[in-house]
């Protein structure tokens, strides 16, 4: 379990599908930037019902609690950063709200930030200077796992 405080700089569109076992899944990636002298950016995933519950918006100041887990695929290791709690800077836990969280006015900024995040991960294997995986499917076809990745 870890925690990070900062500003949400990107909220990507929700991805969803059905696992090989027939389980429905949904996932949304967001990026938070810290307020340190040398700001750090962390991409994290929100899974399932938490997407609607957290209703993350670009520009919000939040503290995100998340779990980090690594998994191996074809001899390479990938990190998963999954949020399990979001607290707004006002001290309120993320309210339960419905609806889609992409604001058309911030869509261009979000797309640009998403492109920067994707480009940061395009160089290959996960390492300490580049924690993002390349833009490749993380789950092989026919995998019996019910995980969304």
Q: Which domains does the chain have, with CATH numbers?
A: 2-120 (2.40.50.140)
What would the pLDDT profile of 130-144 be if each residue is shown by its tens digit?
Answer: 444 555 444 444 455
pLDDT of residue 25: 95
Residue 55 has pLDDT above 90, yes or no: yes
Q: What pLDDT does residue 94 have? A: 54
7 neighbors 32 (Cβ within 8 angstroms): yes
The predicted pLDDT at position 133 comes to 52
Band the pLDDT of 35: cuts 50, 70, 90: very high
Residues 6 or more apart whose Cβ sits within 8 Å of residue 5: 34, 35, 61, 62, 63, 64, 89
pTM of the model: 0.61
pLDDT of res. 74? 94
CA distance 41 to 4: 10
Helix, coil or strand: residue 135 = coil
Work out the number of other CB atoms within 10 angstroms of the CB of residue 51: 21
* E strand or H helix at 108: helix 107-120
């Amino acid at each position: 379990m870890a925690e990070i405080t900062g500003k949400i700089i990107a909220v990507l569109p929700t991805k969803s599908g059905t696992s090989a076992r027939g389980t429905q899944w949904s996932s949304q990636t967001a990026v938070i930037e810290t307020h340190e002298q040398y700001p750090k950016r962390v991409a994290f995933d929100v899974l399932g019902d938490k997407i609607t519950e957290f209703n993350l918006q670009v520009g919000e100041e939040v503290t995100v609690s998340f779990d980090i887990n690594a998994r191996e695929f074809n001899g390479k290791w990938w990190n998963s950063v999954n949020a399990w709690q979001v607290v707004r800077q006002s001290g309120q836990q993320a309210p339960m709200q419905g609806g889609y969280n992409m604001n058309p006015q911030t869509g261009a900024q979000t797309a640009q930030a998403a492109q920067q995040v994707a480009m940061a991960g395009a160089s290959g294997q996960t390492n300490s200077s580049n924690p993002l995986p390349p833009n490749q499917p993380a789950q092989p076809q026919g995998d019996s796992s019910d995980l969304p990745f």
